[in-house]
Amino acid sequence: MGARVRSAVGAGMRGLLLAAVGLAGSITLFVLSVVSLVLIVVGIGALTTPWILTLVRHWANWRRVAAAEWCGVRIPAAYRPFPDDLRGGIVGQLERCRLMLGDPATWRDLRWLLADMTAGFVTALLPATLILYPLEGYALAAGLWRVFTDGSRVGWWYGFVPISGEGSALLAALLATALLATGLRTAPALLRVHFLLTRSVLAPADGELAERVRVLTETRRDAVDTSAAELRRIERDLHDGAQARIVAMGMDLGTIEALVEKDPAKAKELLARARQSSADALTELRDLVRGIHPPVLAERGLGDAVKALALRLPVATEVEVEQAGRAEAPVESAAYFAISEALTNAVKHAGADRIWVDISHTDGHLRIAVTDNGRGGAVLRDGGGLGGVERRLATFDGVLAVSSPAGGPTMVTMEIPCV
């Protein structure tokens, strides 16, 4: 019973938050979007529309994260990626505007704003009403009815009950009890209805299979490009690092062979240098292997690998792991390097003095949250570090969301299917 009450009250509070914040946010963004689209005819809107539609996407992505975390409703984000060679400046902004207006997901977002400020508001407010409205009925029965009536006429209505005295106030309490009992049973389900409505508008309907094929094609191409770039990096590091040292060591050994009888002192000096070259080459090879797949990740799993990574950071980092068993090796590798990139961004750009990493494996999904107390302002964009993380996770059908208001804190949330 206690768990049911906590779940219902939590659903009511979340519904109230969604109703209040969602109504204000959706109305504001819808009005700004319409005004910006109208201003395209005079040229100004072509510059402002990409910024406003980006805010709309962040707003929709926050709702996607809330749907997944609060009710387990997954809403895919099927936005078309921007080309890597997209230029900056006014020309790039105009091209960005054209690409965003040509994306069907943009128009789904705008339709969702309309639905969210109407039906979405009602479905979010309903669980909150069932949990909170009974408090008024109990207050009336406790004596508050005297404030609204003098006993000779109806001074207040509670639902459909006219309050005119103690007897009608007790009827209000009875109605409040019925509403509260209904809320305790149905509030979580009603909140889930809100998110199901959101999914019905935001998720691609017609052509969903074609959209899925397109996304998989793009992520496969990104994976191939990433693998090719990684192979070139490994070849370059081997050629310029360990291979060069081994060649130099071989030359030193040849010189030592010629000098070992003629100049033992010089041969001894070259031998020491060759030994140092071999040690440096071994260190570089270990670093290279660690960059490809850290040994601690292969041996002890993602949790211990991230803890080892946190120990090397100059910022105090706490790692919490709730994981039963291990995910597949490719998933663990993708998650490790995604966490590494998020931590690097926090250290380099956020100005944080504390970082928290939470890793959990539930319902067939690996969920990761990297939070810092820095200055905020992180943006998920193509060509950036977080954009690369998003492409890496997309290869595994994973998603990434960033919440980073000005002034902080910044939370990078990642979710990767493991089944």
Domain assignment present for 196: yes
- Segment 375-393 shows an average pLDDT of 73
The enclosing domain of 263 has a CATH number of: 1.20.5
Pairwise CA distance, residues 190 & 324, whole Å: 31
Choose one of 205, 234, 255: the last residue of a domain: 205
CB 376 within 8 A of CB 408: yes
7 found inside a domain: yes
CATH number reported for the structural domain that contains residue 378 in this entry: 3.30.565.10
Query: Using CA atoms, how far apart are residues 306 and 308, in angstroms rounded to an integer?
Result: 5
Give residue 115's pLDDT band: very low, low, confident or very high (50, 70, 90). Answer: very high
Residue 231 has pLDDT above 70, yes or no: no
* Consecutive H or E run containing 367: strand 365-372
Task: Tell me, yes or no, whether 286 and 235 share the same domain.
Answer: yes
Same domain for 37 and 125, yes or no, is yes
195 band by pLDDT with thresholds 50, 70 and 90: very high
Residue with tokens 């109407």, as numbered in its chain: 118
Tokens of 113: 């704003």
User: Is the same domain home to 283 and 408?
Assistant: no
Q: How many domains does the chain have?
A: 3
CA 155 to chain centre: 50
Structure tokens at 290: 């660690």
Distance (Å, rounded) from C-alpha 377 to C-alpha 391? 21
Q: pTM higher than 0.95 for the full model?
A: no
**398's tokens:** 């994973």
Backbone phi and psi for residue 251, each to the nearest 5 degrees, phi listed first: -65, -40
Decide which of 205, 235, 268 is a domain's last residue: 205
In a domain, 156, yes or no: yes
pLDDT (0 to 100) of residue 97: 92
418 sits in which H/E element: none
Reported as a pLDDT band with limits 50, 70 and 90, residue 18 is very high
User: Do 47 and 105 fall into the same domain?
Assistant: yes
Please enumerate in sequence order all residues whose Cβ is within 8 A of that of 3, keeping only pairs 6 or more positions apart, or say none.
Answer: none
Integer Cα distance of 93 and 17 in angstroms: 34
How far out from the chain centre does Cα 239 lie? 38
* pLDDT at res. 209: 55
The Cα–Cα gap between 416 and 419 comes to: 9
Backbone angles phi, psi at 361, to 5 degrees: -130, 100
- Judged against a pLDDT cut of 60, whether residue 223 lies above it is answered with no
pLDDT of residue 272: 80
pLDDT band at 205 (very low <50, low <70, confident <90, very high): low
- Checking if the pLDDT of 289 tops 80, the result is no
Listed residue (67, 95, 74) closest to 398, CA to CA: 74
The whole-number average pLDDT for the span 360-387 is 78
If asked whether residues 259 and 315 sit together in one domain, one would say no
In this structure, the answer to whether residues 149 and 199 fall within a common structural domain is yes
Question: Is the pLDDT score of 72 beyond 60?
Answer: yes
Within a 10 A sphere around the Cβ of 419, how many other Cβ atoms? 7
In a domain, 39, yes or no: yes
Residue 213 lies inside a defined structural domain of this protein: no
| The pair of three-digit structure tokens given for residue 157, joined into one six-digit string | 């209505």
In the chain, the percentage of residues whose pLDDT exceeds 90 is 22
At residue 76, the pLDDT reads 83
Average pLDDT over residues 258-269: 77
Kindly state whether residues 62 and 196 are assigned to the same domain. yes
Residue 240 lies in a domain: yes
What mean pLDDT comes out for the span 334-361?
84
State whether 26 and 136 are in the same domain: yes
Percent of the chain past pLDDT 70, that is, above it, reads 82
Based on the fold, state whether residues 369 and 321 are members of the same structural domain: yes
Domain assignment present for residue 218? The answer is no
Mean pLDDT of 164-178: 83
Q: How far apart (Å, rounded) are the C-alpha atoms in residues 68 and 368? A: 13
CB of 216 within 8 A of CB of 398? no
Residues 187 and 324 in one domain: no
On whether both 73 and 197 belong to a single domain, the answer is yes
Both 135 and 247 in a single domain?
no
Give the range of the structural domain holding residue 246, as residue numbers without chain letter: 224-292
Specify the DSSP class assigned to residue 353: S
Q: Where are the alpha helices (DSSP H) in 152-263?
A: 166-202, 208-237, 243-259
Q: Average pLDDT for residues 83-101, to the nearest whole number? A: 83
pLDDT of residue 383: 55
- Across residues 307-331, what is the average pLDDT? 81
| pLDDT, mean of residues 238-245 | 60
What was the pLDDT predicted at 217? 66
The residues facing 163 across adjacent strands are 156
Tell me which H or E stretch contains 53: helix 44-71
Instruction: Choose between 373 and 55: higher pLDDT.
Output: 55
Residue 211 belongs to a domain: no
Question: Which residues, at least 6 apart from 257, have a Cβ–Cβ distance to it below 8 Å?
Answer: none
Domain boundary (292, 318, 346) is at: 292
Closest CA relative to residue 202, chosen from 78, 22, 19, 58: 78
Please give the order of strands across the beta sheet that includes 354-362: 316-322, 354-362, 365-372, 410-417, 399-403
Name the pairing type of β-strands 161-163 and 156-158: antiparallel
Region 292-299 average pLDDT: 68
How does pLDDT run across 127-139, given as a tens digit for each residue?
989 988 888 888 8
